[in-house]
Amino acid sequence: MSGGADDAPDPAPPRPVRTFRVDLEYDGEGFCGWQRQAADRTVQATLEEALSRLVGAPVAVVGAGRTDAGVHALGTVASFSAATTLDAATIARALDATLPQDVGVRGVEERPGFHALRDARWKWYRYTWLRSPTRRVHERRTAWRVAVPLDVAAMRAAAGELRGRHDFAAFQSSGSPRRSTVRTLVGVRLLEDGARLALDLVGDGFLYGMVRAIAGTLSEVGRGARRADAMAALLASRDRRLAGPAAPAHGLALVAVGYAGDEPPTFVDPSLAAGLESGRSDRERAPADAEA
């Protein structure tokens, strides 16, 4: 005789919870930044919705940093954990097929214990100007057009004063106080490519609005409205009111995030980069820095 309680099949064993690293890029124009918000469209929420549909359960995504509204990412990293039997390659293909056109997946890898924010050693941001007296349609979403000439040599000299470990409070936007405003910029350079001018900054972390404030201040130097040798005094002031206005968000992009074992860009100062591999400077930061 069958049908009794003792004949019921054993429940399926629970699926193991696995952790994945996701490398991605996005066009920030259509997003109100990375971080999930109640009503606005964000990169984090978009990725979480796609992953939740894929694995059939809610998924929380951790990002390597929080970019502001309109800021792009050429290369950033996220992590998530989920009880799923899907392999990394299947997840990557499914995300590529379901994510909107302004978010792209560059790779997915199973990484036990990986945390995209806590494990990050360095970040590379780029701010781009377009030096042009007239509009350039195909550059309008990725570069800040300036119609007046810029003194690049003066800007380069001023930017060089920011290299090293400093208190960057003068370049922090209000509304996001940090436990510490000290950061280390291990790589600083200005590159010219035709009409485009790019500021590259590599550091152990960035304050909210820091890169855009630096770019806005360097723009004043380039126009002759601020002395190139005034950066040291500005840093010492710790007064955001004394720095330049924030440069527009659409000229900023997160280029890359580095982790243990990753080689930093070639323009990084080796003597300053010694602490990046160990993550020593990370312990001085709040666990969830808002950036850019």
The residues carrying an active-site annotation are 68
What DSSP letter does each residue of 170-182 carry, written as one string? GGPPTT---S--E
**Burial of 194 by CB count in 10 Å (0-12 exposed, 13-18 middle, 19+ buried)?**
exposed
- Closest CA relative to residue 62, chosen from 84, 89, 43, 39: 43
Q: Which two tokens stand for residue 39?
A: 């009503």
Taking each helix axis from N to C end, the angle separating 43-55 and 88-98, rounded to the nearest 10 degrees, works out to 120
The residue assigned the tokens 């995504």 is 61
- Closest CA relative to residue 149, chosen from 247, 221, 68, 239: 221
**Burial of 4 by CB count in 10 Å (0-12 exposed, 13-18 middle, 19+ buried)?**
exposed
CA distance 233 to 250: 29
For residue 46, what are the contacts with CB-CB under 8 A and spacing of at least 6?
A: 31, 99, 100, 103
Beta bridge partner(s), residue 78: 22, 63
SS3 217: helix
